[in-house]
Structures are given as C-alpha cells and as structure tokens.
Amino acid sequence: MNKEIRSQEPGVKRKGEREKGRNGENYSPIRFLFVLLLTAYCLLPTSSYALTVQEVAEDLACPCECPLVLEDCNMSCGLDWKDQIGQMISQGKTKEEIIKYFIDKYGDDAKITPMQRIRGKFFKYTRAFDTIDWVIFWTVAGIWLASLFIGVYLITRRFLAKKGAM
C-alpha cells in the first residue's frame, strides 16, 4: 500500500500546488501583471532617445576646407550647419530627413566617406603635433617595429636550429 505523507506544517507546499495569499487566492496573476507593466514602462521611449545634433553631424562632412567630420568642426561654417541641424531637430525632422536636406542642398560634398572619416579623426588628434612630436612618434614606432622583427627573427632561428639538430 502506497500512502502519501502530507505535511501539515504551514508554509510547506505540496508538489503542483500554487502559492496562496492571505485570503487563500492565488496571486501569481498579480505578479504576472506587475512584471508585464514594469516591462512596458521600461520600454517606453523617454527623452534620452531624442535625436541630438551630434548624432546627425557625425554623418556629415564639414562644409569648409578642413578635413574634419562636422561633429568635430568648431569653425563658423561648421557651427552654422550645426545650428541648422538643431533648428530642424526642434521642428521634429528625423535624422534621415536632415541628412537628405543637406545632400540635396550642397551635393555629394555633404556626404562623408569612410576615408574622410578616418582622415578627419586622424587630423583631429594630430593637428597640434609639432615637428618634435612627429619625430618622437616615428622613432618610437620604428624602435617597436625593429624589436618586433628582431624578436620574431630570433625565435624563428632558434626553432629552426632545434629542428635541424633532430
């Protein structure tokens, strides 16, 4: 005879039994509703998702002769474009609409290519380099490359010498 032993202690659940509230009702639907509402609240868009001038400017080339990306340019021409972008954002235009406006008005020169982006970022970080800074940079780079080459050469030579001794 198989007898099932049941616990009479409070707080101990049997297999398959739901947790009950004070009045005996199940409150797992309440938990589900709470989690659902919390998730929906977290997914609501807030002002932190608003479009910024920087987000638009990073996809446009600077209108003047400098090699900078528009987001890095602080000259009058770049600041004028950034002001226009700010006005368009306040009018409720999207990033794509703003970029299309600049390309339609100024042509392909407003588009930024990957090579322009690389040159612009390189120029941004090295425009203050003096002659001595470039000499130090290339000297350190040369020493690093030479030591890398010598290290690989010595390790390869040692490995081949061991292999030849076998």
Q: Are residues 138 and 94 in the same domain?
A: no
Query: Is the residue at 41 inside a domain?
Result: no
Q: How many helices (H) and strands (E) does the chain have?
A: 6, 0
The tokens describing 77, both together, are: 């021409």
Has residue 87 been placed in a domain?
Answer: yes
Same domain, 137 and 101: no
My answer on whether 151 and 106 are in the same domain is no
Asked whether residue 141 is assigned to any structural domain, the reply reads yes
- Counting residues of the chain whose pLDDT is more than 70, the rounded percentage is 78
| pLDDT single digits (tens) 30-50 | 787 788 788 877 776 654 456
63 and 104 housed in the same domain: yes
> Rounded to an integer, what distance in angstroms lies between the CA atom of residue 53 and that of residue 74?
13
pTM given for the model: 0.49
Question: Is it the case that residue 7 has pLDDT exceeding 80?
Answer: no
Distance CA 81, CA 57 (A): 9
* DSSP code of residue 54: H
Phi (first) and psi of residue 61, to 5 degrees = -85, 155
pLDDT at residue 27, as a whole number: 58
Asked whether residue 151 is assigned to any structural domain, the reply reads yes
76 and 140 both lie in a single domain? no
Phi-psi region of 50 (alpha: psi -120 to 50; beta: other; left: phi over 0): beta
* Average pLDDT value for the chain: 78
93 shares its domain with 137:
no
Query: What CATH number did the domain enclosing 89 receive?
Result: 1.10.8.640
- 12: in domain: no
Number of domains the chain contains? 2
More confident call, 126 vs 47: 126
Range of the domain at 145: 132-159
pLDDT average, residue stretch 110-137: 82
Looking at per-residue confidence, does 29 or 158 come out higher? 158
